[in-house]
Structure 1
Amino acid sequence: MTLAATQTKQYIEQRNEGYWIEGTRISLDSIVYSFLNGDAPEIIAQNFPLLSLEQVYGAIAFYLANKEVIDAYLKQGEVEFEKLQQSAREKNPLLYQKLKTAQIQKQQKA
């Protein structure tokens, strides 16, 4: 019996300083955060209907194989997001006070 040659697929591509599911606009971040929140690959595939189950498993495998690099990348993104949030709060304190008041009122009604 002769085995046919198989190709190794790439599931992740790096673009614009980020990681993406190859050929899509879906970030690796989205898949990894779902995975880290305990979602099974089948649930992740349902939540991202443009992705096949194979692509989801490929993304998770990529993450697990490159865990240190991707965790550092995600942490950097979280730090940048916090800086942007803080800057927005400083530029629009009245807006953020209104949002906080609305959030408290919503919680009190629930």
Structure 2
Amino acid sequence: MVQVTPSASKAVRDFMQEKNLVSPLRVFLNQSSCCGPSLGLRVDEETLETDDQVVVDGQTYLIDKGLGVMTGGVTLDFIDDNGQQGFTLTTARPMGGGSCDCSSGSCGSGGCC
């Protein structure tokens, strides 16, 4: 299940109109080598049999049913704080994952730190 806050819904609508897009948006699992799994959001033309679909304010969001079960549900929000803007995806259940020691640089360049 995907929940979308009002601020995220407006930001998505504005983005999709600006880019002249009408495609669904997919919440997906982004595997990372040292930081563990994280969630991502992308435009996706393909709806699969294993997808749950949620429509919020006319926008379709897709999430694999298994990912939905694993996360316990996902909330999409849009943050606008002191010039820092962006979407956030939070889960009802912690996803766990790897650890990262930023002080030692153990992740290498481009790590999670």
Q: Give the TM-score taking structure 2 as reference length.
A: 0.24
Report which of the two has the higher share of helix: 1
Structure index of larger Rg: 1
More contact order relative to length (CA 8 Å, sep ≥ 6): 2
Q: Give the TM-score taking structure 1 as reference length.
A: 0.24
Report which of the two has the higher share of strand: 2
